[in-house]
Chains A and B, each alone.
Chain A
Amino acid sequence: MLCIDNHVNKVAIKELGLLTMDDKMCNISKSFDSEGGDCSDADIEINNRIFSVESDEESVKRFNDQDNSVIWLNDEDFADDLENVNINNFFHRVDSDQIIYQTKKKRLKLVGKYVMGDLLGEGSYGKVKEMLDSETLCRHAVKILKKHKLRRIPNGEQNVQREIKLLRTLKHKNVINLVDVLYNEEKQKMYLIMEFCVGSLQGMLEATPLKRFPLFQAHDYFVQLVDGLEYLHSRRIIHKDIKPGNLLLTLKGDLKISDLGVAEALDLFAVDDTCYTGQGSPAFQPPEIANGLESFPGFKVDIWSSGVTLYNITTGVYPFEGDNVYRLFENIGKGEFVIPAELEESLKELLQGMLRKDPEKRLTVQQIRQHPWCIRKPSRDSIQVPIPPLKGDEWHNMTVLPYLVDHYYETQSNQEGDIQYFTERQLNEERRKHETQQSNGISQSNQMHQSSKRRWKKPMSCITVKRFPGCKQS
């Protein structure tokens, strides 16, 4: 079977003076990297994103014209004929200086009234992209869910439906706002359009060496978390999966509780908050769940996970660890943990109150709010941990704009030569230059930074072959 080392990933076609590496191929390499069985769907995605039909045909034509020793196969033929083709005739390894990259062409894409921007992140369910409402000019993020991917996640579809249903009824400064939901039956996709956030606490922690926030910053986030949690609880919703990864931040620094996929809404007339299931992240689960209790008070689950979250963002470590889930649950089940001695007394006391093994004795939201550590605002005595830049852009500029510029000023860019080619060597040089610039200090090279960026445009396009049927997991 055909297999190409992802790290090398350099395939060229012999004697083809100019290798056209269009985006289509390039993006496939990405989906090939992540999961093998997804080619067809990735195809659709890419078609819509960047590729117009004309340019696609053009490139195919060029292949045919130039070299008859190369047979370019259609997707369908490819799979059938693969075994008959001598792979060595088909792909040739070439020196890196013979490889040419092409800048990615920005093509405007609309979904309903929304203009798509760049990728913000990726999860098991699909992608998250930036998006602009063309009517209100509001900046949003869109979670693109693919049906076939959802099916692979246990309770995937069910959880998404539950999340939509819950989010629609909620409105609070510290809970993510669901703006709109769109469906595309044909492509089997669902678009959840949400408030625009720049990142999660988890992402910020990971980007900082000590994996924790200075106290004033942790305090700011925690107080907002408690506000959001109080609101959720007042609406009878138990989140069940509070953790830094589910706490997002807006550009303004507002914290938004997100991902209500495993949340539970209590009945309006339920006498208490008894719950029977929990499917949140293991490290944040309370002893009652780790010990497999049949029923437990729900709101206190969120208190516990918020306690673990607070512990984590102030110390950089977890109160409970384990080599595997069983060990972890065993440790949580005992409810014994150590708080680093260097933490201030009132924070220690708060953590102890939130991480009490007995849910009945654990603090309530109101008690947390009135806790001295929450009331007292720590002074800003150190540098704030920043939100990590998105693709080198620490200002998080709107990524929809280049698409719009390209769309409306196309003639101009065509004169300049829309498609740019450069070799691996140039690319490496640019990259090196870029890196040294960054390490030299960001402020002084601000202008250069911008100009180099325009020319360089990120090596998103990297060459690959259209399809790798050999890697299908069937």
Chain B
Amino acid sequence: MPLFGKSQKSPADVVKALKEAVNSLEKGDKKAEKAQEDVSKNLVLIKNMLYGTSDAEPQTDIIVAQLAQELYNSNLLLLLIQNLNRIDFEGKKDVAQVFNNILRRQIGTRSPTVEYICTKPEILFTLMTGYEHQEIALNCGTMLRECARYEALAKIMLYSDDFYNFFKYVEVSTFDIASDAFSTFKELLTRHKILCADFLEMNYDKVFNHYQRLLNSENYVTRRQSLKLLGELLLDRHNFTVMTRYISNPDNLKLMMNMLKERSRNIQFEAFHVFKVFVANPNKPKPILDILLRNQDKLVEFLMKFHTDRAEDEQFNDEKAYLIRQIRELRPSADH
């Protein structure tokens, strides 16, 4: 206990004070300035309880448990996120820090905050729409990625309609927001292998319809990033079913063959890693085989000249040689 100054406020007091301040901030009345100040002050108090300061240790488990309980009961987490754009710059960062810390809290094998958010998925959806507001997008991003680490929360986000908004967010004109959204998007699609594989399988058409638009995006970065992620998704062993489905569709093959000819060498290279899967498939469906056969000579010629300066990349050269051999040896299937 400090000898001078006010004695420490209890978690209940701080949470109550913060809630009142946020409410008055929300109303935007005359006292807004005072409210802003109170919000910042109380956020710092909560942050210090969780993280400690340079001369104080974090609070004991009991205090932190009380604080968490107060936060759940008062519904303050949602309120803070809903009003995040009204809170000042430092305060926004404090909200993210408090949120992430409370989220990581564990009691034995349980994560109480994760359980709490499962009952209040609105928190997640509000965070996701955060990408639509420039001034809070990155703060929401850090909180979303922390949420995505938990399978239960990732599942709620993936299976929500709001997930498809990500296809919009990753393409926004502000580069840092678009890339932040992309890393969250990628985290959701790759972090929990079984969950992701099931999701992609069950929502194959919808997801890949949207995905197609990313691959055809006007934005070079979007095109390149999404192509790279597509390669990673297809080559992940957990997504085997999705991969076989993807490489059976002649439209996908056509798209990749066009991307092989893109102006950007990086895109050509990423496209190569998806294209190779079509060719390596031992059970090529007829439409795929037909396209490859129609372009047999052109493809061989093209691949012979493809990125010849990557001499030191043995893996790539092996794969290229393999593809050339495979395409050369292609024969029309026996049953026609």
Q: How far is the CA of A375 from the CA of B277 in the complex (A)?
A: 36
Shortest A279–chain B CB gap in Å is 22
Q: Which of A209-217, A228-236, A303-311, A464-472 contacts B (4 or more CB under 8 A)?
A: A228-236
B41, CB-defined interface residue at 8 Å? no
Q: Quick one: CB contact mask for B279-321 with A, threshold 8 Å, 1 for yes?
A: 0111000000000000000000000000000000111000000
A268 touches B235 (CB 8 A): yes
Shortest B326–chain A CB gap in Å is 13
B238, CB-defined interface residue at 8 Å? yes
Counting residue pairs across A and B whose Cβ atoms lie within 8 Å, the total is: 32
A453, CB-defined interface residue at 8 Å? no
Q: Quick one: CB contact mask for B215-245 with A, threshold 8 Å, 1 for yes?
A: 0000000000000000000011110000000
B5, CB-defined interface residue at 8 Å? no
Shortest A160–chain B CB gap in Å is 12
A375 touches B109 (CB 8 A): yes
> Closest residue of chain B to A161, judged by CB?
B314
Shortest A122–chain B CB gap in Å is 27
A269 touches B282 (CB 8 A): yes
With contact pairs A168-B315, A169-B315, A269-B280 given, residues A234 and B109 touching in the complex (Cβ less than 8 Å): no
Q: How far is the CA of A335 from the CA of B165 in the complex (A)?
A: 52
Residues of chain A lying within 8 A (CB to CB) of residue B313: 168
Q: Quick one: CB contact mask for B88-108 with A, threshold 8 Å, 1 for yes?
A: 000000000000000000101
Cβ < 8 Å to B, chain A residues 154-171: 164-165, 168-169
Residues of chain A lying within 8 A (CB to CB) of residue B238: 234
Shortest A172–chain B CB gap in Å is 11
Residues of A whose CB lies within 8 Å of any CB of B are 164-165, 168-169, 230, 233-236, 266, 268-269, 366, 372, 375-377
> Closest residue of chain A to B314, judged by CB?
A165
The one of A165, A233, A376, A377 that contacts B237, using a Cβ cutoff of 8 Å: A233
Q: How far is the CA of A67 from the CA of B184 in the complex (A)?
A: 77
* A to B CB contacts below 8 Å, 8 in the list: A165-B315, A168-B313, A168-B315, A234-B238, A236-B237, A266-B237, A372-B109, A376-B106
B109 touches A376 (CB 8 A): yes
Q: How far is the CA of A234 from the CA of B194 in the complex (A)?
A: 11
The one of B108, B236, B314 that contacts A234, using a Cβ cutoff of 8 Å: B236
A377 touches B282 (CB 8 A): no
Shortest B307–chain A CB gap in Å is 15
A230 touches B193 (CB 8 A): yes
> Closest residue of chain B to A237, judged by CB?
B237
6 further interface pairs, Cβ-Cβ under 8 Å (given A169-B315, A266-B237, A269-B282): A235-B235, A268-B235, A269-B281, A366-B193, A376-B108, A377-B106
Ranked 5 nearest A-B pairs via Cβ: A375-B109, A376-B109, A372-B109, A234-B236, A236-B237
Residues of B whose CB lies within 8 Å of any CB of A are 106, 108-109, 193-194, 235-238, 277, 280-282, 313-315
Residues of chain B lying within 8 A (CB to CB) of residue A234: 193, 236-238
Shortest B243–chain A CB gap in Å is 8
Shortest A326–chain B CB gap in Å is 35
Residues of chain A lying within 8 A (CB to CB) of residue B281: 269
B194 touches A268 (CB 8 A): no
Residues of chain B lying within 8 A (CB to CB) of residue A372: 109
Residues of chain A lying within 8 A (CB to CB) of residue B314: 164-165
Q: How far is the CA of A377 from the CA of B108 in the complex (A)?
A: 7
Q: How far is the CA of A366 from the CA of B151 in the complex (A)?
A: 12
> Closest residue of chain B to A166, judged by CB?
B315
The one of A164, A169, A235, A375 that contacts B236, using a Cβ cutoff of 8 Å: A235
Q: How far is the CA of A268 from the CA of B276 in the complex (A)?
A: 11
Residues of chain A lying within 8 A (CB to CB) of residue B106: 375-377
Q: How far is the CA of A469 from the CA of B160 in the complex (A)?
A: 76
> Closest residue of chain B to A364, judged by CB?
B194
Residues of chain A lying within 8 A (CB to CB) of residue B237: 233-236, 266
The one of B108, B193, B280 that contacts A268, using a Cβ cutoff of 8 Å: B280
Q: How far is the CA of A233 from the CA of B280 in the complex (A)?
A: 20
Q: How far is the CA of A234 from the CA of B281 in the complex (A)?
A: 18
> Closest residue of chain A to B108, judged by CB?
A376
Residues of chain B lying within 8 A (CB to CB) of residue A375: 106, 109
> Closest residue of chain B to A376, judged by CB?
B109
Q: How far is the CA of A236 from the CA of B237 in the complex (A)?
A: 6
Residues of chain A lying within 8 A (CB to CB) of residue B315: 165, 168-169
Residues of chain B lying within 8 A (CB to CB) of residue A165: 314-315
Q: How far is the CA of A268 from the CA of B313 in the complex (A)?
A: 20
Residues of chain A lying within 8 A (CB to CB) of residue B193: 230, 234, 366
Shortest B235–chain A CB gap in Å is 7
> Closest residue of chain B to A299, judged by CB?
B237
Shortest B173–chain A CB gap in Å is 29
Shortest A8–chain B CB gap in Å is 49
Q: How far is the CA of A167 from the CA of B34 in the complex (A)?
A: 57
Residues of chain B lying within 8 A (CB to CB) of residue A233: 237
Residues of chain A lying within 8 A (CB to CB) of residue B282: 269
Q: How far is the CA of A230 from the CA of B235 in the complex (A)?
A: 14
> Closest residue of chain A to B106, judged by CB?
A377
| From B106, B109, B238, B282, residue with most partner A Cβ within 10 Å | B109
> Closest residue of chain A to B282, judged by CB?
A269
Shortest B189–chain A CB gap in Å is 13
Q: How far is the CA of A235 from the CA of B193 in the complex (A)?
A: 12
Q: How far is the CA of A393 from the CA of B12 in the complex (A)?
A: 49
| From B236, B237, B314, residue with most partner A Cβ within 10 Å | B237
A268 touches B277 (CB 8 A): yes
Shortest A344–chain B CB gap in Å is 12
Residues of chain A lying within 8 A (CB to CB) of residue B280: 268-269
Q: How far is the CA of A164 from the CA of B313 in the complex (A)?
A: 11
> Closest residue of chain A to B318, judged by CB?
A165
Shortest B219–chain A CB gap in Å is 24
Shortest A185–chain B CB gap in Å is 14
> Closest residue of chain B to A266, judged by CB?
B237
Q: How far is the CA of A235 from the CA of B238 in the complex (A)?
A: 9
Q: How far is the CA of A164 from the CA of B282 in the complex (A)?
A: 27
Residues of chain B lying within 8 A (CB to CB) of residue A377: 106
With contact pairs A268-B280, A269-B281, A376-B108 given, residues A366 and B236 touching in the complex (Cβ less than 8 Å): no
> Closest residue of chain B to A268, judged by CB?
B280
Shortest A232–chain B CB gap in Å is 10
Q: How far is the CA of A377 from the CA of B315 in the complex (A)?
A: 40
Shortest B226–chain A CB gap in Å is 18
Q: How far is the CA of A234 from the CA of B280 in the complex (A)?
A: 19
> Closest residue of chain B to A375, judged by CB?
B109
Q: How far is the CA of A168 from the CA of B194 in the complex (A)?
A: 26
Residues of chain A lying within 8 A (CB to CB) of residue B109: 372, 375-376
> Closest residue of chain A to B283, judged by CB?
A269
